[in-house]
Amino acid sequence: MQQNGTGSTDTESGTGGNGRLVGLVTVLALVNFVVDSAITAPLLVLPEMLDHFGTGQAAWLNATAMLAGVMWAPLLGKSADIHGKRAVLILALLISCAGALLCAVAPSIWMFVLGRMLQGAALAAMFLSVAIVRGVCPPRIAMIIVGIVTSGSAALNIASRFLIEQLAEEFGFQILFLVSAFVAAVMVICVRTVVPESPVKRPGRIDVGGALLLGGGLAGMLGYVSLGSDLGWLAVGPLALLVGGVAALARWFLVSSRKPDSLIDIGDLGGSLVLTLLVVFLAAGAYQSLLQLVPLIGGTSAEQQLGYGLADQGSVALLLAAPGLGVTLGGPAAGWLAARIGPAATLAGAVVLGTVVSLGMFLGASRLPAALCCGFLLGVTAGALGTSGFNVAGSLASAERQGIVSSLVMVVLSVGAVVLDFVGAAVLKSTAVTVDGGTVNSATGVFSYIAIACGAFTIAAVLAVMLVRSTGLRHHTSPSPGLKRERV
């Protein structure tokens, strides 16, 4: 691939350029499939894993990879800006591959947890893919490709679920981790062969201590929220994570401002980037919490007379599949819109759509057609929000800081999802009622849950409008004399 005058890879000239572009998009989309195989797919075999290790601590097996991914993100993002995004992406895939192999052969639960922590490095694949695209493609094309890369694997994820279940039944849950390791290894070869190295690198050193403090602090606090509900809020493990997380973040905040080459220069973070991260945090949490509510509503029958329920109205399988289809369409559509109306306006549109859809869930809780529509549009919102968040943040950052900025977007996407899921779960638990000797979610809890998501979307929409008004990204898709990139 040749460099054009702006420093981006010329992917538009000639059939060869088009072929290389298709190859790049295909490989990076498949790289993001590795993220699903490492982070979320193991949930399908969670009961088998619990039985194998003779434990009831599902939280450790479930949340460890995501928590570790949040910890890995700042370190790998900064490393990518200095040493090259392709090189660090390959490293992340190799670490994930090693973690999957360890999980497949782990003789004890603690060895398995260590493997899951290594697998968490796969989370970097998504934001590094985005940074690679922005580094090698012209800005307008990059926005579209970011949508395809971040959302294109959603349909493949849905199809793989059925295969994973069948393989696990026949060969045991370990086969899932062997498959994950194999896919990661194949992607290492593909990335090395197809993906060009970053044309822009930032000279400097990696603040390893700062990265570990920031990542460890975020993972510790997120771990308390994730694990506390299962293990107990005053249990030794979750409390240790909370105290350690708060201490690490406090130490990072105090030290980073005095370092000349800190991981993130807080003083120059930029108001527009902060607004972007807040919007993504709130909106990601809102849509993820609603997606978690969908199967709870779908598994409840209206005959129980709780004021909600869809189980007796038709195929609930469609209800669960609709968001995946929406994600597949929402990401590329958001990229296409961003190239025409600007990434900030597209982000605002995604949040407004999510607000309207969350209101529709009040009706969807008891009407299957409305629920199907809302489920699909929630998926569209999810795909569009992730794509737009990466596009806005990338447009606000200089070329040599794409890695660290993309990692921050990935962090707030993950943290927002966990925090709002916890808040919703706490509401459902506190409002549960007893029916025929069993505990079920009440209508008060379900509709309060939806109302919280509506509130988060509404606040995010207000912030998104402020973002559009405060930046030149409404009409510009690349830096110009009238649009100065902000430092991060």
pLDDT in 10s for each residue of the chain, 488 residues: 444 433 444 444 433 567 788 889 889 988 988 888 888 778 778 778 888 888 766 667 777 888 788 888 888 998 999 889 999 999 999 999 999 999 999 998 889 989 999 998 998 999 999 999 988 888 888 999 999 888 877 767 766 767 777 777 788 889 889 989 999 999 999 999 999 887 777 777 777 788 788 888 888 888 888 777 667 778 888 899 899 999 998 988 888 767 767 777 666 677 889 999 999 999 999 998 898 888 888 878 888 888 898 887 766 667 777 888 888 899 999 999 999 999 999 999 999 999 999 999 999 998 988 999 999 999 999 999 999 999 999 988 888 888 888 999 998 988 888 888 888 888 888 888 887 777 888 999 999 999 999 999 999 999 999 999 887 544 444 443 333 444 44
In the numeric block, which tokens belong to residue 443? 């209508």
CB count in 10 Å sphere of residue 117? 20
pLDDT of residue 58: 67
Domain with CATH 1.20.1250.20 in the chain: 1-206, 264-488
Contact of 304 with 440, CB cutoff 8 Å:
yes
Contact of 488 with 271, CB cutoff 8 Å:
no
Contact of 330 with 379, CB cutoff 8 Å:
yes
Give the CATH H-level superfamily of domain 264-488.
Answer: MFS general substrate transporter like domains (1.20.1250.20)
Q: Could you give the CA distance from residue 405 to residue 237 in angstroms, rounded to a whole number?
A: 31
pLDDT of residue 10: 44
Measured between alpha carbons, how far is residue 328 from residues 39, 237, 276, 290, 322 in Å? 19, 38, 23, 18, 10
Q: Could you give the CA distance from residue 130 to residue 46 in angstroms, rounded to a whole number?
A: 30
In the numeric block, which tokens belong to residue 16? 């060869």
Q: What is the pTM of this model?
A: 0.85
Q: Does domain 1-206 have CATH number 1.10.10.1100?
A: no
pLDDT of residue 1: 44
CB count in 10 Å sphere of residue 165? 13
In the numeric block, which tokens belong to residue 339? 């190239």
Report which secondary-structure segment, H or E, holds 348.
Answer: helix 343-364
